[in-house]
Structure 1
Amino acid sequence: MSLRILRDVSAKLEGTPYTIMVDETTDASTQEQVVIVLRWVDEDLEPHEDFIGLHITASTDAKSIVAIIRDVLVRMNLSLTNCRGQCYDGAAVMKGCLSGVAVQLTQDEPRALFTHCYGHSLNLACQDTIKDIIPIKYALDTTFELSKLLKYSAKRKSEYKRLQAEMAPQDPGFRTLCPTRWTVRAASLQSVMQNFSVIQSSLDSFADMAKRDPEMSARCTGVAAQFSSFDFLFGVALGEKVLKLVDNLSKALQHKKMSAAQGQVLAELTIKSLALMRTEAEFSNFWEKLIEKQSKEDVAEPSLPRKRKRPCRYDEGSSGHFATCIEDHYRVMYFSAFDMAIQSIKSRFDQPHYKIYSKLECTLLKGAAGESYTDDLSSIQELYCTDFDSNILQTQLLILYSHFRETAVTPALMDVVDYVKSLGKPGQLLLSEVVKLIRLILVAPATNATSERTFSALRIVKTYLRCTMTQARLNHLLMLHVHKEACDSLDLELCIDDFCRESEHRRNIFGSM
C-alpha cells in the first residue's frame, strides 16, 4: 500500500519543478533518522509537500546526507535538474558555505536555490533579541523554573490548582514554558500576568511544603523573590508584548501552502507592526498599565540601578550616561527591545538566494502592474533560460496587465495566482509561460514545518514498546500514517494484486483479483 502511494507521488512529480526539504532527528531506539520531504505545485497551482521516507544514517555529515538525497531521487525516478529549491535549518552541515549540503547540490544544479527555513530564522531572531534585553531574559528563565516546579511534582501542581480555584477560578491556568521553541512563549508570559497573585501564593506554599528539603525550599524561595521584583514584572510584560507578534508570525509561516514569497510579505507586516508599537504613546500606555499592575500585586517599587564605575580599560575620561528618572530608565529598555526585534528579523530574513528568487516575483508583479521589469527579467533569464521562453512571457504579461489595469489596484502575488486559477485550463494555456513562472515562485517553501510534523508522527508510530521494528516496516507504516487521505482512497484490489504478484508462491495460494 505504501509503495503504491510512493509510485503515485513519483508519477505526479515527473517533469515538475520541486524543492527538497530535509531534517534529522533521533527516534525511540536512538537511531539517527533523516527525513525527506518534496514540495511541488500541481496543474491547479496548488502547492503540495509530500513525505517520501526516513533513512538511517551513521553519520550526519554533509557527504552522507547528500548521498541519501541522491539515492532518494534515483529511487523516485526524479532528476536533480528539475530541483528548483532547497529548504533546511541553519546548521553548518546543511548551510555551510564551503561544503554544506546546499552548496554541494547547488554546484550540480544552480537553480536549486537554498532557503534557510523561516521558522528557524525567526527562532534565531527571537534568541538574538531576548539575550540582549536582560529583563526579558531573566523573566523567561524564572518562568521556566516555575514550569519545572509545577511539571515535575503532582503535589505542587495540585496545590496550585487548589489556590487558583479559591482565588481566581475564572482565570485560565498557568501555561508551561517550552524550553526549546522560542516563538511560542508569549502565551506562557501572558498566563503569568493573569495568574500573578495565585503564583505568588503558590510559591509561598511550595516553600512551606519543602521545609525538609533545603534545596527545593531554596528554589521556591528564589523564584518567589524574583516574582516580588519590579524588573521581573517589567520583563514579563515587555516580553509578552514583543513575542506575541512574533508568535503570530511563526504560526502563519508554518502553513503547508505558504511560499517563501508570501513568508517575506508576512515578515514585512510583522516588522511594521513592531514599529507601530515603538512609539512614545505606546510606551506611556504600557508604563501606566504596568504601574497599575504593580500597585495591585505584591511587587516592589521600581528603582534606578546603582551607578557603576566604568572599568579602567574602557574609561575615556567621560562621566557616562545615567538615567535620572525611573521611567526614562525603563523607556530605554522598551525601545531597545523593539529595535532589536525589528533588526534581527530583517537580518535573518535577508537571505542571499532569496534576492535571486525575488526577481521572479518582481518580474511577475511588475508585468501585471504595467511597470518596467526589464532589469529583473534579464537578471533571471540566464539562470532560468530553459524554464520559460522570455519572449512569449513578455507577450503574456501584457495580457495579464490588460486585466489588472481595469481593477485600478496594484496586484499582489495571490491576486495574480487567483486570477490565473479562475481562467481554468483553457485560460492557463493562454498564459502558459506565466503559469510556469508562478509555479517557480510557489515551489519555494517558507518553512520546513512538514518535516517537523513527520517527527511527531514518528513518535506515534515508533514508540518505546515498538522500537525493534525494521526500517522498512517503519517507513511503510509512517507513509500510511502521514498520507492518510491517499491511504483511504487506495484501490485495495490493486494492492492485493500487487501483493500476489510478488512471488509465485503467493499467486498459487491467493490467485489474482
Structure 2
Amino acid sequence: MASSSQHSLKKYFTKVPKSSLASPSQLNQEANANCSEVALHSSQEFDLSTLNYDPGERTPILDYHPNHRDVIRRAYLQNGPCQPRLLQREYPQTNISGSMRRFNSEWFDDVYHDWLEYSVSKDAVYCLYCYLFKGHSIHQGGGEVFSTTGFKSWHKKSSLGGHIGLQNSVHNQSKKKCQDLMRQQQSVEFSLGRQFNQFKHAYWVRLSASVDVVRLLVTQGFAFRGHDESKSSLSRGNFLHILSWYGKKCDNIRDYVLEHAPQNDQMTSPGIQKDIVTSCKIETIKAILDELNGDYFALLVDESFDVSRKEQMAIVLRYIDRKGIVMERLIDIVHVQDTSALSLKRAIVNLLAQHSLSLSHVRGQCYDGASNMQGEINGLKMLIRQESRSAHSIHCFAHQLQLTLVAVSKKCIEVGKLVVLVSNILNVLGSSFKRMDEFRDSQKERIQEALDMGELITGRGLNQELGLSRACDTRWGSHYKSFNNFILMYGSIVNVLESLVHDARLMDERAKAMGYLDACRTYEVAFMLHLMSEVLAITNEVNKCLQKKEQDLANAMLLLEVAKIRLQAYRDEEWDSLIAKVSLFCIKHEILVPNFKDPYVSSLRSRRRLGDNTVLHHYRVEVFCNIIDWQLQELKDRFGEATTNLLRGIACLNPIDSFSSFDIRKIMKMAALYPDDFDEFNMSALENQLASYIIDVRDVDERFFDLKGLCDLSKRLVQTKKHSNYPLVFRLVKLALLLPVATASVERAFSAMKFIKNDLRSQMSDDFLSGCLVPYLEKDLFDNISNDAIIKTFQEMKPRRVQL
C-alpha cells in the first residue's frame, strides 16, 4: 500500500497509459517485497499509552500510515485536538518494469484532491477525513463507500460532490476534526497551556532576579528597605534600587520585573524578601551540617546585647570536616530573655534539635568567665557535662589573657591609675566633634612637621591617621592598642587639652582638662605608658595567634610558654632599653626626667617625709619587676584549669619536631577521659594502633616530617588515607582538635551583628537578623549555594502562587 501527504501528492503519483496497468496482485506483491508495512485493514493493535504527545512538533497528519487510523481516532476522542507523534515510515514505491497506470491527483480539482488517498493494493481512492473520523451512522453521500471499499469510478466526479454533502455532513464534520487535529496550536487547551508556561517562566525570572539581589545584600550586610519605597521616591531602598538597575542592564529580565510585572506578583514585598533571606540561611545551615557529617563537635557560646538592647546568644560549632580541617561555623543567633544557665541550656538544646543534633555528640565547650557559664555547680558547662561526660570545658584563652592585665591593675596602683587616666582623656576628647577636629588637625600638622624634618619615612600604608581606641577589660588587645596609640598621639592630645583649658566655657571642664594635662606631663605616666605597651606587645602577639580558627590546644599552650619566656627575658635584660625610650620621649615632649639616685617621694606622702628608697629602686623594683612578676604569675594561675592529663595527652600527640613528645602512656590517660568514645575493647585496640602509628609516621612515611601542629596532622592523615588505617588514633586527634582555644568566632559574630543591626536598622526582627547574619559570616559556603537550591527551599516554605 502507498500513502502520500496532502502537500506532496505529485511526488508519489504520475500518469501512465491505462493499458499498461499492472494487476492488483502483482502490485501488492511488489509492495510487500519493498516494505514490511501491514495492509490497509491489518488487525495489528497499537497501545495508546505508548504515544508521545508533543504539541510543539508539527508533523502533517497525512504522513502517518493508514493502519494507525484507529489509534489516531481514539487519541482524538480521548485527548482532544492534540497531535500524536508516531514513528514515520518510508512508504513503498512500485518499481515494475514497463509502463503502468498510477493515480494522479491533478485529474481532480483542488476541492477534491486534498482529501483523496490512493491504495495500490485496492486500486481505489479513499476519503481520508472519513477514513480517520467516520461516525457510526454514515449512510449519506457515499460515506461507507469512500471509507471502507474505496471509490474506483474516477471519471464520475459528481459522486465526489455527493460525498461531500451539505455543511453538516459527516464528511465536513470529519474534515473539521482533522483540521482541528492538524491545527493543535490553535486549540483552547494548547493556548491555556502555553499561557501557563509563559506565566511560569515569567514568575521564575522574577524570583531568580529577587534571589540575586538578596544574595548581594546579604553578602555585603546592606539594608534592604528604605523609608519611602513609592514609585515617585528617588531613594526606594537598596533592594528595589538594585533590582531596577539589574532590570535595565539585563535584557533577560527587563520585561519581567517591577513595572513590567503584574501588580500582585512582583516578588518584591517585604514578606518575599524575608522568605528569601530565610531560605538563604536554611541552605547555608544545610551546607554546615553536610560538612559536619554527623560527627562530634564542640560548642562555643557567648551572649551580647544588640543595638535594641536585646540579649542575643551566638552558638558556634567547632568540628572537623571530611578533609580533616578544623572548622568553626555560626549555626545561629538566638534571642534569650533569661540568661540563667538552665535557660541557656534549654535554648541550645532546642536549636540543636531543630537540626537533628544532640548534646551527646558534644566533645568540647568554650565560654568566657561569666558565672552562669563557668559555675562549678549550676553553670552551663556542668549542665552540659551531665548530658555528655566527654564535653570538656575550656575557659577562653584570649579572654583569660586579657583578664591578666585586669588582675595586675588591681594589684599595682600605678597600672590602675594609668588605665583610668587614659580612659578619661579619650572620653574627654571623643565626646565633642569640635575637639576631634582639633585633634585631627594637630595630628596632621605634627606628621607633616616630622616628615619635613626627616623623622618619618613615606610609603604606602605609612603615617595613617590614628584613632582613639577605647580600652575595655573584655575586648582583646584593646589596652595594648590604647596605650600604643596614646604614645604615638601624645603631642596632639596635649595640644587639645591645652586648648580646652583656655577655651572651655564651664569651670568643671577646665578643671578636668588641667588635671589630665598635669598628669600627662609627669615622668611616671610616660614610664608606665612605655612599660605597659612593651609588656602587652608580647602577649598581644600570642592573643592574635589564639584567635585563629585552626588553632589547637597544644600550640596554644606552647605559645603561652613562649610568652612567659619572653616576659622573663624582658624583665632580666630590657631595663636599660626601656629607660632609653622613656628618656627620649620625655626630652621630645619637654617632660622633666628625675634623677634616679634621688630619694623617691610618693604622692601619698608629704615631701618632708622622704622614703627610704631611691627613684631607681621604685621604678625598677617596685614597678618594673613587680608588674612583670605579677603578669607571669597570673599567666601560670589562669591557664591551669584544664585537666592535666588532657593537656599532657594533647601535647604528646603534637607532631612538632618529628613527634618528639610522643608518649603512649600519657596518650592512653587522655583517652580514658573520653569514656563514651573508648571502652575497654577500644582502649586495647588504640594502644596497638598507637604503636604501629608512631613507627609509620615517624620513621617510614616522609610525608609526615614537616608538620607544624595537630591541624596539619589531621589534614595529612586524611590526604594520605591513613585515617582509615588508624581510625582510633584519628578519632583521638579529632577529639584533641575539637577542644576550642578561644571564642573568637563568637566575637566575630557579635561584631557582624552590630554591623548588620545598627541604629538605622534597630527594629529588625530576630528571624530576619539571624537570616542575614548566618550567610554573611559563612560567605565561603553561601557563595557555593546555587539559586536553584534557594528557590526550591523558598517554594517549600509555604504554598506559592506558582509551583515551579
Could you state the TM-score of these two structures normalised by the residue count of structure 1?
A: 0.88
Once the 2 structures are TM-superposed, how far is the Cα of residue 150 of structure 1 from its aligned partner? 2.1
Whole-Å Cα distance in 1 between the matches of residues 706 and 651 of structure 2? Answer: 10
Query: 8 Å contact 1:369–1:404 — kept in the other structure?
Result: no
Question: Which amino acid counterpart does residue 459 of structure 1 have in structure 2?
Answer: K
Q: Structure 2 stretches of 5 or more lacking a match?
A: 1-279, 457-462
Once the 2 structures are TM-superposed, how far is the Cα of residue 138 of structure 1 from its aligned partner? 1.9
Once the 2 structures are TM-superposed, how far is the Cα of residue 387 of structure 1 from its aligned partner? 4.3
User: Residue by residue, what CA displacement relative to the aligned partner does 1:308-356 show, whole Å, maximum 9, x if unpaired?
Assistant: 89xxxxxxxxxxx954322121111101111111111121111134x24
> Share of identical aligned residues, percent?
24
Whole-Å Cα distance in 2 between the matches of residues 23 and 420 of structure 1? Answer: 28
Whole-Å Cα distance in 1 between the matches of residues 517 and 673 of structure 2? Answer: 64
Query: 8 Å contact 1:34–1:57 — kept in the other structure?
Result: yes
2:570 maps to 1:277: yes
1:265 — aligned with what?
558
2:515 — aligned with what?
222
Once the 2 structures are TM-superposed, how far is the Cα of residue 454 of structure 1 from its aligned partner? 0.9
1:338 — aligned with what?
628
In the superposition, relative to structure 1, how do residues 250 and 415 fare at CA in structure 2: closer, same or farther (>3 Å)? closer
2:411 — aligned with what?
132
Query: 8 Å contact 2:425–2:516 — kept in the other structure?
Result: yes
Query: 8 Å contact 1:95–1:101 — kept in the other structure?
Result: yes
Whole-Å Cα distance in 2 between the matches of residues 118 and 419 of structure 1? Answer: 22
1:347 — aligned with what?
637
Whole-Å Cα distance in 2 between the matches of residues 77 and 18 of structure 1? Answer: 13
1:457 — aligned with what?
752
Once the 2 structures are TM-superposed, how far is the Cα of residue 4 of structure 1 from its aligned partner? 2.0
2:546 — aligned with what?
253
Match of 2:484 among 180, 190, 202: 190
Query: 8 Å contact 1:175–1:187 — kept in the other structure?
Result: no
Whole-Å Cα distance in 1 between the matches of residues 354 and 442 of structure 2? Answer: 60
Whole-Å Cα distance in 2 between the matches of residues 289 and 3 of structure 1? Answer: 56
Question: Which amino acid counterpart does residue 473 of structure 1 have in structure 2?
Answer: F
Query: 8 Å contact 1:135–1:234 — kept in the other structure?
Result: no
1:298 — aligned with what?
590
2:438 maps to 1:438: no
In the superposition, relative to structure 1, how do residues 446 and 372 fare at CA in structure 2: closer, same or farther (>3 Å)? closer
Superposed, 1:459-498 pairs within 5 Å as 459-498=754-793
In the superposition, relative to structure 1, how do residues 157 and 419 fare at CA in structure 2: closer, same or farther (>3 Å)? closer
Question: Which amino acid counterpart does residue 298 of structure 1 have in structure 2?
Answer: E
Superposed, 1:94-173 pairs within 5 Å as 94-169=373-448, 170=451, 172=463
Question: Which amino acid counterpart does residue 668 of structure 2 have in structure 1?
Answer: L
1:315 — aligned with what?
none
Whole-Å Cα distance in 2 between the matches of residues 239 and 372 of structure 1? Answer: 40
Task: Determine which structure has the larger helix proportion and give its number.
Answer: 1
Deviates more, 1:135-144 or 1:44-53: 135-144
SS in 1 for 2:708: helix
Whole-Å Cα distance in 1 between the matches of residues 344 and 661 of structure 2? Answer: 45
2:485 maps to 1:206: no
Once the 2 structures are TM-superposed, how far is the Cα of residue 238 of structure 1 from its aligned partner? 0.9
2:311 maps to 1:36: no
Whole-Å Cα distance in 1 between the matches of residues 376 and 497 of structure 2? Answer: 49
User: Residue by residue, what CA displacement relative to the aligned partner does 1:105-131 show, whole Å, maximum 9, x if unpaired?
Assistant: 112211000111112111211111223
Query: 8 Å contact 1:146–1:223 — kept in the other structure?
Result: yes
2:342 — aligned with what?
63
In the superposition, relative to structure 1, how do residues 158 and 431 fare at CA in structure 2: closer, same or farther (>3 Å)? same
Whole-Å Cα distance in 1 between the matches of residues 779 and 422 of structure 2? Answer: 39
1:177 — aligned with what?
469
SS in 2 for 1:324: coil
Question: Which amino acid counterpart does residue 578 of structure 2 have in structure 1?
Answer: F
2:61 — aligned with what?
none
Question: Which amino acid counterpart does residue 393 of structure 1 have in structure 2?
Answer: L
Query: 8 Å contact 1:130–1:137 — kept in the other structure?
Result: yes
Query: 8 Å contact 1:323–1:329 — kept in the other structure?
Result: no
Once the 2 structures are TM-superposed, how far is the Cα of residue 12 of structure 1 from its aligned partner? 3.3
Once the 2 structures are TM-superposed, how far is the Cα of residue 274 of structure 1 from its aligned partner? 0.7
Q: CA RMSD in A?
A: 2.8
Once the 2 structures are TM-superposed, how far is the Cα of residue 381 of structure 1 from its aligned partner? 2.4
1:395 — aligned with what?
688
1:364 — aligned with what?
653
SS in 1 for 2:314: strand
User: Residue by residue, what CA displacement relative to the aligned partner does 1:79-126 show, whole Å, maximum 9, x if unpaired?
Assistant: 222110111111110111110110111122110001111121112111
Whole-Å Cα distance in 1 between the matches of residues 365 and 711 of structure 2? Answer: 23
Query: 8 Å contact 2:646–2:673 — kept in the other structure?
Result: no
Once the 2 structures are TM-superposed, how far is the Cα of residue 412 of structure 1 from its aligned partner? 9.8
2:674 maps to 1:383: yes
2:799 maps to 1:510: no
Whole-Å Cα distance in 2 between the matches of residues 105 and 163 of structure 1? Answer: 55
Deviates more, 1:155-164 or 1:73-82: 155-164
Whole-Å Cα distance in 1 between the matches of residues 722 and 363 of structure 2? Answer: 25
Whole-Å Cα distance in 2 between the matches of residues 357 and 178 of structure 1? Answer: 38
Deviates more, 1:151-160 or 1:397-406: 397-406
Question: Which amino acid counterpart does residue 226 of structure 1 have in structure 2?
Answer: A
Query: 8 Å contact 1:142–1:223 — kept in the other structure?
Result: yes
In the superposition, relative to structure 1, how do residues 365 and 162 fare at CA in structure 2: closer, same or farther (>3 Å)? closer
1:314 — aligned with what?
none
Query: 8 Å contact 1:369–1:405 — kept in the other structure?
Result: no
Between the two structures, name the one with larger relative contact order (CA 8 Å, sep ≥ 6). Answer: 1
Pick the structure with greater CA Rg.
Answer: 2
Whole-Å Cα distance in 1 between the matches of residues 466 and 787 of structure 2? Answer: 48
Query: 8 Å contact 1:254–1:449 — kept in the other structure?
Result: yes
User: Residue by residue, what CA displacement relative to the aligned partner does 1:443-472 show, whole Å, maximum 9, x if unpaired?
Assistant: 111111111111122122223333333322
Whole-Å Cα distance in 1 between the matches of residues 737 and 620 of structure 2? Answer: 42
Whole-Å Cα distance in 2 between the matches of residues 51 and 347 of structure 1? Answer: 31
Question: Which amino acid counterpart does residue 480 of structure 2 have in structure 1?
Answer: A
Once the 2 structures are TM-superposed, how far is the Cα of residue 282 of structure 1 from its aligned partner? 1.4
Query: 8 Å contact 2:398–2:742 — kept in the other structure?
Result: yes
Question: Which amino acid counterpart does residue 240 of structure 1 have in structure 2?
Answer: S
Once the 2 structures are TM-superposed, how far is the Cα of residue 149 of structure 1 from its aligned partner? 2.4
Once the 2 structures are TM-superposed, how far is the Cα of residue 14 of structure 1 from its aligned partner? 4.1
Whole-Å Cα distance in 2 between the matches of residues 392 and 56 of structure 1? Answer: 45
2:301 maps to 1:22: yes
1:235 — aligned with what?
528
Question: Which amino acid counterpart does residue 92 of structure 1 have in structure 2?
Answer: S
Whole-Å Cα distance in 2 between the matches of residues 157 and 445 of structure 1? Answer: 41
Once the 2 structures are TM-superposed, how far is the Cα of residue 401 of structure 1 from its aligned partner? 2.9
2:723 — aligned with what?
428
Once the 2 structures are TM-superposed, how far is the Cα of residue 28 of structure 1 from its aligned partner? 2.4
Once the 2 structures are TM-superposed, how far is the Cα of residue 363 of structure 1 from its aligned partner? 4.5
